[in-house]
Amino acid sequence: MNDGAGRPFEVHRGRGRKAAQSANAPLVVREHVSPMPKPSPASENPPSPSIKTILLVDDGDETRVTTKWFLSNFGYAVEAARNAEEALALFDPKTHDVVITDNSMPGMTGVEMAHIIKLRAPATPVLMYTGHAPDDRSCLDLVIQRPTHLLALQEALEKLLAGRG
């Protein structure tokens, strides 16, 4: 027998002759595994995919968790923070390709955090995803006004990162 992909296997009922005669004996499947071929030099170190890493900052647990899950399903690595202070402690321009933040948060606002991010790493894009957009957008690369569908955020993120090259 084979498994449909060309790999052979055997099916036995239990162990031994008595078990083979019993209809109630458990099924035992043995797969015939052929030895793995030796990798060629080109396949020994396959190139790793270019995964973009996002630092997501939102004090709303439901919004943060949902947005993280949504963007992760598009292949992004998402690191989440509950507030601006936590985000600034996590932020690393060598790791994070983009920062997505809410504006209205306790303590430091998203726009204040964006100013600090831009001082540390001017090339890192900051996308604000908020229900309360600030008047001063000088440190923001893009503002997406909520409520909106998360696909609008994902599309804007793709365009922002594509422009970064």
Q: Specify if 45 maps to a domain.
A: no
Radius of gyration in angstroms for the set of CA atoms belonging to the chain, rounded to a whole number: 26
Q: Specify if 15 maps to a domain.
A: no
Q: Specify if 13 maps to a domain.
A: no
Averaged pLDDT for residues 91-106: 97
Q: Specify if 149 maps to a domain.
A: yes
Query: pTM for the complete prediction?
Result: 0.70
Q: Specify if 48 maps to a domain.
A: no
Coil, helix or strand at residue 149 = coil
Is residue 157's pLDDT more than 90?
yes
Pairwise CA distance, residues 157 & 39, whole Å: 38
Averaged pLDDT for residues 61-90: 97
Instruction: List the CATH number of the domain containing 137.
Output: 3.40.50.2300
Residue that wins the pLDDT comparison between 24 and 124: 124
Is residue 8's pLDDT more than 70?
no
Q: Specify if 35 maps to a domain.
A: no
Pairwise CA distance, residues 68 & 47, whole Å: 26
pLDDT of residue 6: 54
Range name among 32-36, 97-101, 131-135, 142-146 with the lowest pLDDT average: 32-36
Averaged pLDDT for residues 145-159: 95
Mark out the alpha helices in the chain (DSSP H runs). Answer: 16-21, 41-44, 61-72, 84-90, 110-120, 150-162
Residue 156 sits in which domain range?
53-162
Q: Specify if 23 maps to a domain.
A: no
Under the banding of pLDDT at 50, 70 and 90, the label for residue 156 is very high
Pairwise CA distance, residues 73 & 89, whole Å: 26
Instruction: Give the whole-number percent of the chain exceeding pLDDT 90.
Output: 67
Looking at the structure of the chain, the number of domains it has is 1
Q: Specify if 74 maps to a domain.
A: yes
Residue 125 preceded by cis peptide, ω within 30 = no
pLDDT of residue 17: 47
How many C-alpha atoms does 155 have within 13 Å on its Cβ side?
A: 6
Is residue 24's pLDDT more than 60?
no
